[in-house]
Chains A and B, each alone.
Chain A
Amino acid sequence: MELTKEEESALKGEQGEIMQMAYRILVATGEATDADKLIPIEWAHLSGVNYNTIGDSGEEFLSGISKTARVKVKTTLNPMGFDIDNVSNYGLDDNFISKQLSIRKSYEAMGVIPSFSCIPYEIFDIPKEGTHVSFAESNAAIHANSFNNLKTNKESAFSALASAITGKSPYSLLRKEDSPNITIRMKVDNPNEMTYGMLGFFAGKVGNDSVNISGIEEMDRRSCKAMCGGMGTSGTCAKFLFGDGESNCEKVDFDKKEMNNIYDELNTAEKGDLITLGSPQLGLEEISDLTSKLKGRSFKKRCIIFCPRIVKEQAIKIGYTNELQRAGCEILADCCTCLTPLINKNNVDSVTTNSIKGAYYLKNSNGVDVNLKSLSQIIKDETR
């Protein structure tokens, strides 16, 4: 990789240990992904926040570097493990809570905005077309590349952190030209958000860096998010381009057969003990839509809703949370279905959700069975 004089000097340690470490990460990542240089970025979004995933090693590392490390560009943060407003209802042990709060403190000390959200693209202003960012959250990276006209690698927790500290990122393939070598032909009729989630999951499995998708009509926000969440879960692919692609592209169909294979892989239960909505977290539009769908109805079992804090605050002001709580929903800010410590196999056997991403992690990380249903089906079956 070609480095500027200033970058070389940072790598030698002439700008302090933290800068040296950050540049070591960028160079190692860049060499591993065949980047030829570093480029400036305007916004970093970090993963590696939930104590459930980063553990003691992560907590100790962040606590150490937070004494001197400061972010150089706007930096936002993925969800953590709980909502402090109601954590006492969920039986989390004190060690988890104190370690999670230490992680929060470390990030805040570094100057990171404590957004605790996996949908930064929905709660922050989007920079102008073509702006380079570094998003470690996979669904957010795919959303940024595919729907927001931004450019990002599918960063790791570490490369995004190094980007936040230096304001730079490796100039790897996804930041350059789009050249998918594969086109997925969407053939399933009347798709709902779960269909799009499975299409994303399928695309992530067959694609390398980016894929073309043909045969797609207009999608609502819920479906876009479901598709990005699904793709980020199953592979390293980080961009959709809509259209047929070049004529020499390999063509692969996504039809009922392919969809049913994914459904059978992720759906392992006939019904759930509780329902979760939000993976990726719900935005205000989805909360508003859910509120109107639940008019005059209430859930027959627990339904947990995950959203960013700013969305929860807006929902309280507008009166949505009152309505949702009346319908039996628990509304949690700052955390997400994905990798939540609040659901585990000791207290729950199975969970109903419409999220493909949520289903994958509930099954593989939380060890619970999953019952997959679209939102409209959930409301039909699980409320009265």
Chain B
Amino acid sequence: MKKILVKGKTQGIILKSLNPINFLGTVDKQTGVISDKNHDLFDKSIKNCILVFPNGVGSSVGAYTIYSIKSNNVAPLAMICQKADLTVATGCALANIPLIIVNENEFSSFHTGQKILLDTESLNPITNI
């Protein structure tokens, strides 16, 4: 069962994290690099990937960070989460980044490096390519 929070169509390569992401504190607005040493994506850029992570955490002001990384052209192409949280939902809505919520099974089936087509208007919104 998938839930479409922000519509859109894109294709790209998955970058998956098993840790929640705090956009306000730990994502560099100029580079899109995760700066939290304890995060499993530490030192990696989330630019132009399909970012798969459980959910956002931290201040709702993090939504502005998502808007900023999009303005600076270092945002992910789309995001896929396991849990809907308002910070990521509104951030993706502000920045017009497609956002899909998936269930636990689907979430665990994704892996970094997987190439997918994401189209929220399609009957099957996420397909391997």
Contact = CB atoms under 8 A, between A and B. Distances in A.
Query: Does chain A bind chain B?
Result: yes
A25 B90 contact: yes
Kindly name the residue among A27, A29, A31, A54 whose own CB sees the greatest number of chain B CB atoms within 10 A. A31
A28 B63 contact: no
Contacts, number: 72
Interface string B1-32: 00111110000000000000000000001000
B3 A57 contact: no
Given A24-B96, A61-B94, A156 B86 contact: yes
B82 interface: no
Nearest to B85: A32
Contact of A158 (B4, B29, B85, B94): B94
B96 A29 contact: no
B90 A28 contact: yes
Pick the most buried of A32, A33, A60, A156: most chain B CB atoms within 10 A of its CB. A32
B2 to A, nearest CB: 11
A18 to B, nearest CB: 11
Interface residues of A, number: 22
Interface string A187-218: 00000000000000000000000000000000
A371 B47 CA distance: 45
A138 to B, nearest CB: 11
B86 A32 contact: yes
A49 B117 CA distance: 39
A48 interface: yes
Contact of A58 (B64, B84, B96): B64
Interface residues of B, number: 26
B41 interface: no
Interface in A85-125: none
Interface in A360-379: none
A367 B85 CA distance: 27
A28 B99 contact: yes
Contact of B89 (A29, A48, A54, A57): A29
Contact of B5 (A32, A53, A61): A32
Interface string B49-76: 0000000000111011101100100000
Contact of B84 (A32, A61, A157): A32
B89 A157 contact: no
Given A21-B93, A27-B93, A156-B60, A57 B65 contact: yes
A338 to B, nearest CB: 14
Nearest to B62: A57
A55 interface: yes
Nearest to A17: B96
A33 B59 CA distance: 18
A31 B94 contact: no
Contacts of B84: 31-32
A28 B61 contact: no
B118 interface: no
Contact of A48 (B7, B61, B92, B93): B61
Contacts of A11: 7
Interface string A25-69: 101110111000000000000001000011101101100000000
B85 A28 contact: no
A57 B64 contact: yes
A264 to B, nearest CB: 26
Contact of A54 (B6, B7, B61, B96): B61
Nearest to A64: B71
13 contacts: A27-B6, A28-B6, A29-B90, A31-B4, A55-B64, A57-B61, A57-B67, A58-B61, A60-B71, A61-B67, A156-B87, A158-B63, A159-B90
Given A21-B94, A25-B90, A28-B99, 5 more contacts: A21-B93, A57-B64, A61-B94, A156-B86, A157-B63
